[in-house]
């Protein structure tokens, strides 16, 4: 899949670019044009149209298969992603009775990996296309204990009636909004598992949790992008009472 994001729609330019891309890269099966008129730290468009092929692609991580739309987040290095999620499972130390809240769940990758090890997983995601992918992915992989909710975390979490024994966080590079940090603190989970591609904003957010009733117990970086300085970092936080 190739997605081109521009600030304006330019059909003549895009049609010429489409012809050149398809001619020179026959492996392309999905070519999407997205338009975003506002600056953003993440590659997401306000609306999109299919220039060529399918509106989604299919990827595999371990034994699971995922449908991925252009605006949905998905780890590009799938082999390293399997290592990342395996390490997350080890650090989380889930219980079969746990209800897990997966915040910024994307297409449901972490949710579906976690599901066989816990009672229930509820995923939350802002991008509606990603939520639709996640719901289809759960059905396609025959996983019945996952549900997915679309909306801005600052609003939907305040209205949630679901208690989370464990909260998983995997936000964009900008990290967590302070309102989200406070809402997670209000949820009072036993364990917080925070996965981040930006250790600097992660450290800022972890300090906020540790100023409250949590202590940092584990850190595990994963080299997702060899020969670059980019990593994914997993942090485990435990509540200091009632464990």
Residue 217 has pLDDT above 80, yes or no: yes
Query: What's the pLDDT score for residue 155?
Result: 83
In a domain, 168, yes or no: yes
Range of the domain at 138: 77-239
Q: What CATH number is given to the structural domain containing 118?
A: 3.40.50.150
Query: Structurally, how many domains does the chain consist of?
Result: 2
Contact between residue 239 and residue 222 where contact means Cβ atoms under 8 Å apart: no
46, 94: one domain: no
Same domain, 34 and 124: no
51-60, 76-85, 215-224, 234-243, range with the lowest pLDDT: 234-243
State pTM to two decimals.
0.88
- The per-residue pLDDT for 37 is 83
Q: Is the pLDDT of residue 160 over 80?
A: no
Question: Same domain, yes or no, for 38 and 119?
Answer: no
Looking at 54, 69, 87, the residue that finishes a domain is: 54
Q: From residue 36, how far is each of 39, 48, 200, 236 by CA, in Å?
A: 8, 9, 27, 35
Please give the pLDDT value at position 145: 97
Co-location of 223 and 139 in the same domain: yes
Residues 6+ apart with CB under 8 A from 232: 84, 195, 196, 197, 221, 222, 224
Structural domain includes residue 31: yes
Position 43 scores a pLDDT of 72
Q: Does residue 173 sit in the same domain as residue 225?
A: yes
Q: Is the confidence at residue 98, as pLDDT, over 70?
A: yes
How much is the average pLDDT of 170-174?
92
Q: Are residues 110 and 226 in the same domain?
A: yes
The residues annotated as belonging to the active site are 197
């Amino acid at each position: 899949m190739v997605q081109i994001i521009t600030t304006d729609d330019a059909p003549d330019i895009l049609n010429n670019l489409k012809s050149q891309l398809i001619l020179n890269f026959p492996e392309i099966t999905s070519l999407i044009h997205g338009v975003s008129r506002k600056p953003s730290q993440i590659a997401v468009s306000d609306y999109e149209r299919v220039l060529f092929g399918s509106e989604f692609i299919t990827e595999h991580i371990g034994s699971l298969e995922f449908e991925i739309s252009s605006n949905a987040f998905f780890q590009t290095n799938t082999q390293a992603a399997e290592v990342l999620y395996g390490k997350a499972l080890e650090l989380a130390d889930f219980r079969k009775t746990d209800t897990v809240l997966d915040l910024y769940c994307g297409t449901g990758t972490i949710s579906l990996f976690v599901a066989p090890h816990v009672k229930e997983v509820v995923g939350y995601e802002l991008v509606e296309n990603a939520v639709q992918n996640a719901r289809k992915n759960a059905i396609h992989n025959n996983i019945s204990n996952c549900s997915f909710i679309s909306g801005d975390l600052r609003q939907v979490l305040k209205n949630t009636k679901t208690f989370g024994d464990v909260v998983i966080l995997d936000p964009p590079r900008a990290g967590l909004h302070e309102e989200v940090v406070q809402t997670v603190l209000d949820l009072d989970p036993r364990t917080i598992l925070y996965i981040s591609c930006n250790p600097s904003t992660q450290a800022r957010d972890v300090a906020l949790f540790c100023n409250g009733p949590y202590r940092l117990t584990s850190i595990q970086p994963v080299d997702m992008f060899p020969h670059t300085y980019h990593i994914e970092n997993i942090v485990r936080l435990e509540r200091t009472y009632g464990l």
